[in-house]
Chain A
Amino acid sequence: MLAYVVRRLLLMFPILLGLSLLVFLFVRALPGGPAIALLGERANDQSIEQINEALGLDQPVHVQYGRYLKNVASGDLGASVRTRQPVTDELARRFPATVELSIAAMFFAILLGIPLGFIAAKRYGGILDNASLVASLIGVSIPVFFLALLLKYLFAVKLGWLPTIGRLSLTEQLDHPTNFYIVDAIVTGNWSALRDALEHLVLPAIALGTIPLAIVARITRAATLDVLSEDYVRTARAKGLDPRVVDRRHVLKNAMLPVVTVIGLQTGLLLTGAVLTETVFAWPGLGTLVLDAIRFRDYAVLQGGILFFAVVFVVVNLLVDISYAFLNPRIRYR
């Protein structure tokens, strides 16, 4: 098991290296060249020269890339044109917000999607099965930003049940030791802030979680249907086990294998969706950071943001693969 993890970790390096190269080329391909791109169009000649020197643009490309790698490795992604803050600080501040949102969305998708898909499969061909199929198809056909807008309109604007934007009401005072507001509220015992933060989280999480929900439900259904016809399920029934034990221990446990893979694949979608969902709900996460960077041509932030997103994506996929190995003994010992 340990060997597997180590091997996977080692395999991660070429991908990270490739990613950094991609982002490096990206910055050099930006209109106006990297100096303008990184400093903004109003930059004066002196600072352009400075950055050209700093980036070593007079050097051959491979030297430039080497220097860039060194900077990235030491956590230096440059500074935002707009805020003058180091990009890494910005990323660190925004990251927890996106993680909180993504985890909530995934919880929503998994806690609802797996039972839904499982029940649909158990009642194969029934009304519930067909309804869930249609619902999940509609789920994957709705653009996440449109769904977010609809939810916001219905529950926040029209009904006024939930807040429309942000992570916390201005009236709430909350210390931020972790920047995960839910965690912050719990560790500081601030229950009114907790309630408020949760209320802010509900709509964005549902919006972001709906597509994964639809997909998780579909895959769970398909996987369960597959497993239900497996010989070992018949064996389990022949042993006289309770149907609930058969379902849980023999059916679900096996059906979870493809579902875990798919959940992993959803993280990319989730990150993309986060960019859009955060925009609709003015959620101060990485997504809004990246979009603001586009809007204000803050390319240092954009570069850092994309690199960071990609790294998170790679790491999450790694975690998913490892958890898959935990679930599937055939992989673990290979």
Chain B
Amino acid sequence: MPLLSVQDLEVKFFTRRATVHAVRGTSFDLETGETLGIVGESGCGKSVSALAMLGILPKTGRVTGGRVLFGDQDLVGMSDAKLRKIRGKDIAMIFQDPMTSLNPVLKIGRQMTEVLTKHLPMDKQQATAEAIALLDRVGIPNAADRLGDYPHQFSGGMRQRVMIAMAIACRPKILIADEPTTALDVTIQAQILDLMKKLVVEEGMGLILITHDLGVVAGVCERTNVMYAGRFIETGPTRKLFERPRHPYTLGLLRSVPRLDAQRKEKLDPIGGSPPELTKLTEGCSFAPRCVYATEESRARTPELRPIEGNDHLVACWNPVPDADLPHAPTDRPAAQ
């Protein structure tokens, strides 16, 4: 039995103007200790999926279908009181912007200890000691002295370390990281990713890493799901996916990443057009309007994920990218030389 099993998850937002179908039936499993990446453009529903799993969608959003099985419990439809015992304890989350994700008027120590005393049988003293140990572990110097500091006294990278320390405080089984490095400087990004990788291994946590940055996924995740307009359109082992992307969208994503080893004259190849509005979705592949491989069938019927090249690589496409058009993936290069 997988640690976490998401099945046909659907999320809709009900605003006065329209209903937004943000997540349209996504499914995936996460095993203990597995690292899974979810990649996509902003607005494709990747963050919403995470919030939905934890039951902390904004007020206008609602899970309208599917199940989120954690062990034998379904998190969808669970009472908030029960869910709160899981949130922050068994499943913890890190957010994108460490500048705004910490409460500016509470001391760091307080924000750390409140999660410890809530979920674990600790008194204030024990929680404080544990908070120091945690901050120390995520690499914050003089941890004991910094408990009394406020978030604005930390740099962005240090704040994200605090967020991570808070997330792993109760030894969660699953860590969800939503764009954890997007708001950080490049040099800091690498440090934070290394830290997360290290902690995931040490704690044996399952990691769901949500990002738009293919480089981040390549460095951290064993498996990758590519999301487009509320659906997964390709999933597979990260290495395989990068070497042989079969969905035109995945290929497009890879091609729009600047490469150091590219020829000077070689232009980047961005994907033309923009994602569809999630308020007016019709039958057919959502990517078809932007896709050079689109066929009659793409426009007529919505493709489902189906295996291609073995059981672990799935793609939802009527006309997958032919071998001839595949690039040499960056991970491929050292081996080729």
Contacts and interface: CB of A to CB of B under 8 A. Distances in A.
A230 interface: yes
B175 to A, nearest CB: 11
B87 interface: yes
Interface in A200-220: none
Interface in A234-264: 234-243, 245, 249-250, 253-254, 257
Contacts of B87: 237-240
Interface stretch (B95-103, B236-244, B289-297, B310-318): B95-103
Interface residues of A, number: 26
Contacts of A161: none
B54 interface: yes
Interface string B85-112: 1111100110111001111111000000
B114 interface: yes
Contacts of A240: 83-89, 115, 118-119
Contacts of A19: none
Contact of A239 (B51, B59, B118, B150): B118
B153 interface: yes
Contacts of A257: 105
Interface string A9-46: 00000000000000000000000000000000000000
Contacts of B163: 235
Contact of B101 (A235, A243, A333): A235
Contacts of B89: 240
Nearest to B51: A234
Contact of B95 (A231, A250, A328): A231
Contacts of B59: 124
A236 B103 contact: yes
B168 to A, nearest CB: 12
B299 to A, nearest CB: 38
B105 A254 contact: yes
Contacts of B97: 231
A238 B56 contact: yes
B166 A239 contact: yes
A224 to B, nearest CB: 13
B100 A239 contact: no
A316 interface: no
Given A235-B102, A241-B88, A329 B56 contact: no
A249 B114 CA distance: 10
B152 interface: yes
A241 B116 CA distance: 10
Contacts of B104: 232, 254, 328-330
Interface in A270-328: 327-328
Contacts of B118: 239-242, 245
Given A239-B118, A240-B119, A245-B114, A232 B85 contact: no
A144 B103 CA distance: 39
Given A241-B118, A245-B114, A330-B152, A253 B106 contact: yes
B232 to A, nearest CB: 23
A238 B93 CA distance: 7
A238 B56 CA distance: 7
Contacts, number: 84
Nearest to A253: B105
A254 B93 CA distance: 22
Nearest to B59: A124
Contacts of B119: 240
A241 B152 contact: no
Given A231-B95, A235-B95, A241-B84, A329 B54 contact: no
B119 to A, nearest CB: 7
Nearest to B104: A330
B54 A238 contact: yes
A234 B95 contact: yes
B154 to A, nearest CB: 12
Given A231-B95, A231-B101, A239 B106 contact: no
Nearest to A241: B118
A230 B103 CA distance: 9
Contacts of A249: 103, 106, 114
Contacts of A328: 104-105
A250 B103 contact: yes
A261 to B, nearest CB: 14
Contacts of A330: 104, 150, 152
Contacts of B96: 231
Interface in A100-134: 124
Given A234-B95, A238-B56, A238-B93, A329 B85 contact: no
Given A239-B118, A245-B114, A253-B105, A230 B152 contact: no
A239 B105 contact: no
Contacts of B115: 239-241
A329 B105 contact: yes
A123 to B, nearest CB: 10
Contact of A232 (B54, B58, B100): B100
A32 B217 CA distance: 85
B152 A242 contact: no
A229 B61 CA distance: 13
21 contacts: A230-B100, A231-B97, A234-B56, A234-B101, A235-B102, A238-B54, A238-B87, A238-B93, A240-B84, A240-B89, A240-B115, A241-B84, A241-B88, A241-B115, A249-B106, A253-B105, A253-B106, A257-B105, A327-B105, A329-B104, A330-B104
Question: Which 10 A-B residue pairings sit nearest by Cβ, starting from the closest?
Answer: A240-B88, A240-B87, A239-B88, A231-B100, A329-B150, A240-B84, A232-B103, A231-B101, A238-B93, A239-B115
Interface of A: 124, 229-232, 234-243, 245, 249-250, 253-254, 257, 327-330, 333
Given A237-B87, A239-B92, 6 more contacts: A238-B95, A240-B85, A241-B118, A242-B118, A330-B104, A330-B150
